Amino acid sequence: MPKREHIEAFVRMVEAGEFVEAMEAYYADDATMQENDEPPRAGLPALIAHERKVLATAGRSQARCLTPPVIDGDTVVLHWEFVFPSPPGATARLEELAFQTWRGDKLVRERFFYDPRQMRPVPSAG
């Protein structure tokens, strides 16, 4: 069962934009990650490679945990909002739920639930 302090530290790293560093610090070597109903990716090296590819494509996104983490034994649920830079004068926002399974203080399984239609760029106000 993960300690609340570890979950909160993980959230702070993600909110600081330290996505890869958070994975290196908190994901198990055999971790899996799954987007909605897509096949899961497996193994920390594959997860990090995918994250780096996303960051290279999307640029630096901003992350915010919208509610306090829900922790029940080895299960953690995080409610995230991500803001991605898009074409000049636009942004894309993604709100998702991340269902995580932890083994001690290491994340071993993560599945994201979100509506992909949220990724359409919207003109920025101003």
pLDDT for res 84: 79
Band of residue 22 on the pLDDT scale cut at 50, 70, 90? very high
First to last CA, the chain: 46
Tens of pLDDT, residue by residue over 54-108, are: 888 777 789 999 999 999 999 999 999 998 776 666 678 889 999 999 999 999 9
As a whole number of angstroms, the distance between CA 75 and CA 103 comes to 9
AA identity, residue 34: Q
Percent of the chain scored above 70 by pLDDT? 90
Band of residue 116 on the pLDDT scale cut at 50, 70, 90? confident
Rounded to the nearest angstrom, the gap between the alpha carbon of residue 16 and the centroid of all alpha carbons in its chain is: 12
Q: What is the pTM of this model?
A: 0.89
CB 110 within 8 A of CB 97: no
Q: Which of 96, 84, 94, 97 is nearest to 124 (CA)?
A: 84
More confident residue, 19 or 122: 19
Query: In the structure encoding, which two tokens stand for residue 36, read together?
Result: 């909605």
- Architecture category of domain 4-116 in CATH: Roll (3.10)
Over range 116-124, report the average pLDDT.
71
Distance (Å) of CA 114 to CA 20, 29, 37, 82, 110: 21, 25, 10, 11, 13
Over range 32-47, report the average pLDDT.
97
- Domain residue spans of the chain: 4-116
